[in-house]
Amino acid sequence: MKIIVTGGAGFIGSNFVFYERKKHPEDEILCVDSLTYAGNLSTLEPVMNDDKFKFFKIDIRDRDSVYRLFEDEKPDIVVNFAAESHVDRSIENPTIFLETNIIGTSVLMDACRKYGIKRYHQVSTDEVYGDLPLDRPDMFFHEDTPIHTSSPYSTSKASADLLVMAYHRTYGLPVTISRCSNNYGPYQFPEKLIPLMIANALADKPLPVYGEGKNVRDWLYVEDHCKAIDLIIRNAKDGETYNIGGHNEMKNIEIVKLICDYLDKPYSLIEHVEDRKGHDMRYAIDPTKIHNDLGWLPETAFADGIKKTIQWYLDNKPWWENIISGDYMNYYEKMYGNRKVLD
Smallest Cα–Cα separation from 201: which of 272, 276, 262? 262
Identify which of residues 100 and 200 has a Cβ nearer to ligand NAD in the complex.
Answer: 100
CA 130, CA 210: separation in Å to the nearest integer?
A: 18
The residue from 19, 120, 129, 153 that is catalytic is: 153
Our finding on whether 186 is near ligand NAD (CB under 6 A) is no
Q: Are strands 249-251 and 216-218 parallel, antiparallel or unpaired?
A: antiparallel
| Chain centroid, CA 322 distance in Å | 21
Q: Enter the DSSP assignment of 77.
A: E
What is the per-residue binding string for ligand DAU in 103-132, x denoting contact by CB under 6 A?
----------------------xxx-----
Please, is 266 exposed, middle or buried when counting C-beta atoms within 10 Å of its C-beta (0-12, 13-18, 19+)?
exposed
Q: Is the dihedral of CA 91, 250, 308, 52 positive or negative?
A: negative
Binding characters for ligand DAU, 232-271, by CB under 6 A (x = yes): --------------------x-------------------
The one among 57, 217, 227, 257 contacting ligand DAU by CB under 6 A = 217
Q: CA 2, 71, 56, 98: dihedral to nearest 10 degrees?
A: -100
Question: Nearer Cβ to ligand DAU, position 28 or 131?
Answer: 131
- Regarding 59 and contact with ligand NAD (CB under 6 A), the answer is yes
Q: At its nearest, how many Å lie between ligand NAD and the CB of residue 266?
A: 28
183 binds ligand NAD (CB under 6 A): yes
The candidate with the shortest Cα–Cα distance to 188, out of 58, 6, 15, 4, is 15
Cβ burial of 211 (10 Å; 0-12, 13-18, 19+) is middle
Q: Please say if 274 is a catalytic residue.
A: no
Active site residue 153: yes
Residue 158 within binding range of ligand DAU, rule CB under 6 A: no
Give least dist CB 292 to ligand NAD, A.
Answer: 21
Q: Catalytic residue at 191?
A: no
- Listed residue (285, 299, 159) closest to 228, CA to CA: 299
**In terms of DSSP H, where are the helices of the chain?**
11-23, 63-73, 87-92, 95-98, 105-115, 152-171, 193-202, 222-235, 252-263, 288-294, 302-315, 317-325, 328-338
- How many residues at the interface with ligand NAD, by CB under 6 A? 30
> Which range, of 48-56, 65-73, 80-88, 235-243, touches ligand DAU by CB under 6 A?
80-88
- For the annotated catalytic residues, the residue numbers are 126-127, 153
Interface with ligand NAD (CB under 6 A): 6-7, 9-13, 33-36, 38-39, 59-61, 81-85, 100, 104, 123, 125, 157, 180, 182-183, 189
Interface with ligand DAU (CB under 6 A): 85-87, 125-127, 181-182, 192-193, 196, 208-210, 215, 217, 252, 276, 283
